Homo-oligomer: A and B are copies of this chain.
Amino acid sequence: MEGAKTKKESKVVVAVDESEESMFALSWCLSNLFSEDHIDSTLVLLYVKPQSPVHSSFDAAAYMFSSDVVATMEKYGSELVRSVMERAEAVYRNFDANIKVQRIVGRGEAKDVICNTVTKLKADILVMGSHGYGFFKRALLGSVSDYCAKNAKCPVVIVKHPAQN
């Protein structure tokens, strides 16, 4: 068993998306997981772009999009990434935390990309909101946070927005 306060370096992955909740989760994480004796810790901001529609799981059902539509969606996706990352960076700048920050943009099924990234990085903690990724998708496929809480290879912090409480 590990002794108290021996672990000074840790890698904290925060799954960010366009939701207010994920920004609140990031803010919670900075308040609670980056204390003075964790200054060597790394904050990893992970954003998962949805799968490109032409490569989505609907392929088999022959959903086809014109190249114009695909280009527009790609552009929208890139702008969304930039917007989310900028918001996330504003949150951590606000904390004046002297920590290393790494940005990762993944692509695919959020739950798989998040769990795979955690494994690959050997992350110590994964922090995420309890919602996000769309109501209908959640209702159909179950929540991404439920899946990650069960499958990610590290402890998972599920943060709810206070408005949900």
Contacts and interface: CB of A to CB of B under 8 A. Distances in A.
A81 interface: no
A150 interface: yes
Interface string A31-72: 111111110000000000000000000000000000000000
Contact of A155 (B38, B96, B146, B159): B159
Contacts of A82: none
Interface in A66-106: 91, 94-97
Interface in A2-17: 2-7, 10
Contacts of A10: 32
A156 interface: yes
The number of chain A residues touching the other chain, given as a range, is 35 or more
- Nearest first, the 6 A-B pairs at minimum CB distance are A4-B95, A35-B35, A149-B158, A155-B159, A153-B165, A157-B157
Given A156-B157, A157-B156, A34 B150 contact: no
A133 interface: no
A1 interface: yes
